[in-house]
Amino acid sequence: MSNTRLNTHLVVLPALLAALFLSSPAEGLVAQSSSSPYRTVDDWAQLPDGREMGAVGDVAIDPDGEHVWAVVRCDAGAERFGNECLDSDLDPIIKFDPNGNVVESFGGGMFIWPHGIDVDPDGNVWVTDGVSAGGLPDRNDPHYRGGTRGHQVIKFSPTGEVLLVLGTPGEPGGGDSHLISPADVVVADDGSIFVADGHSGNGNNRVVKYAPDGKVLLEWGQTGYAPGEFRTLHAIAMDSRGRVFVADRSNNRIQIFDQQGNFLAQWTQFGRPSGIFFDENDRIFVADSESDDVQNPGWEMGIRIGDAASGWVTEFHLFPGGDPRSTAGNGAEFVAVDRAGNMYGGEPSPRNLQKYVRVRP
C-alpha cells in the first residue's frame, strides 16, 4: 500500500468512527446532544449569617435521597488556590435541605483544602483534605511538611463527630500510614474504603483500599499512561455492580477496576473527567470542567450522562461557551443527583453550588 493511500485511510477512519459514535441505532441515543434535559436553578444554596459562598468542591446525596452534602471552602477571597481553609474556622462541610437551606455543618478549623466527599449507607460523612499548609504540594515548599492538617481522610458521624482518620495529618508520603493529596473517597456496601491518592501530579497516583477499621488491605497504581497507571486521580466512585471507577483526569479517561484492583476497562467517551456519580437508575454522570483545545482538543466542557453498564453516552449538559483557554475550570468539577432526578454541580472557580432541574424525560 502506498503512503498516499495509507494517509487517506488514516484521515477517513477517525471521521467514520466519529460518525458512528455520534449516531445511534436507537432513537434518542446520542453521544453529545446539544439539547440539555436540565434547566438551571440559580442562587439555590443559601448560606447563613451573610457568609459568602466559597469554592465548592465535591457534592454527595444523603441516604434519604433528598438532602445534599457539599464541600464549601472557607475563604471566598483567598488569593492562593489550595489553602482556602488554612486560616479560617468556618465549617466547610455543609448539608442542605431540598430548598437550599443549611441544616447541618461542621469541620471548622480541621481542614486546609477539603476536596472529596462521600456519604456511606449509615449517613457517615467522609471528607478528604487534599493538601497541607502552603497550598498545592510542592516538594521544595517548606510548608509541604509539618502541621496537623492536610493529606488525610476524615470520617465523621452525621453530626460531625470524628470517627476515623486515614493518613497522617500534615505528613505526606507513601506506604500504609501516609497519603499525598487524597482527592476523593468512596465506601463500599461492605464498609471497605477506597481512596484516590491523589490530586498531586508528583504524588502517589494510586488507589488505596482500607478495611472498615482503617487497616490497609491493598493498593494499586503508579504514575504513568498504561492501564492501572494514573496522572491525577481526581475522583473515585462505585457502581451498583461494585466496580471501582477512577477519574484519571490528566490521562483524559475513566479507568474501571474490580475491588481487588484488577483492571477491567477504560472509557474515554466521557471527556476529561473530574467527577463521577451513579444514580438509582444505573446511570453514570461525569463532570468535565477542563476539556479545552490544549488539554483535551475536540471535546466540550459539560456533564455527560450515560448507561453505567455499557458506557453509552445518552445526554449532555453543555457548560456556557467561550474561549476554552479562559473558561476551563468554570463549570462543575463534581456532580450528584438526588432521588427526584435533580442534578447538583460543585463549581470551584465560580464559587457556586449549582442546582439543575430535569425538564424532560
Cell triple for residue 203? 504524588
* Single-letter amino acid code for the residue at 49: D
Dump pLDDT digits (tens) for 132-142: 655 445 555 54
Dump pLDDT digits (tens) for 101-125: 999 999 999 999 999 999 999 999 9
For 105, residues 6+ apart whose C-beta sits below 8 A from its C-beta are 91, 93, 94, 95
Positive or negative torsion for Cα 39, 42, 47, 52: positive
Indicate the DSSP class of residue 53.
P
The candidate with the shortest Cα–Cα distance to 249, out of 230, 228, 222, is 230
Distance of CA 18 to the CA centre of its chain: 27
**To the nearest whole number, what is the mean pLDDT of the chain?**
86
> For residue 308, is pLDDT > 90?
yes
pLDDT category of residue 319 using cuts at 50, 70 and 90: confident
Q: Is 29-358 in CATH node 2.120.10.30? A: yes
Dump pLDDT digits (tens) for 233-261: 999 999 999 999 999 999 999 999 999 99
Mean pLDDT computed over 68-89: 82
The helix (run of H) or strand (run of E) holding residue 9 is: helix 3-22
Query: Looking at the DSSP assignment, which residues form a beta bridge with residue 30?
Result: none
The candidate with the shortest Cα–Cα distance to 340, out of 124, 76, 93, 99, is 99
> For residue 65, is pLDDT > 80?
yes
The candidate with the shortest Cα–Cα distance to 93, out of 146, 144, 44, 47, is 47
pLDDT category of residue 294 using cuts at 50, 70 and 90: confident
d(CA 103, CA 95): 6
For 136, residues 6+ apart whose C-beta sits below 8 A from its C-beta are 81, 82, 181, 199, 200
pLDDT of res. 361: 74
d(CA 70, CA 58): 6
> For residue 45, is pLDDT > 50?
yes
- Domain boundaries in the chain? 29-358
Mean pLDDT computed over 190-197: 98
For the sheet with 253-257, list strands across it: 233-238, 244-248, 253-257, 263-267
Q: What is the pTM of this model?
A: 0.88
pLDDT category of residue 293 using cuts at 50, 70 and 90: confident
Q: Which of 93-97, 155-159, 288-292, 302-306 has the lowest mean pLDDT?
A: 288-292
Choice between 150 and 194, residue whose per-residue pLDDT is larger: 194
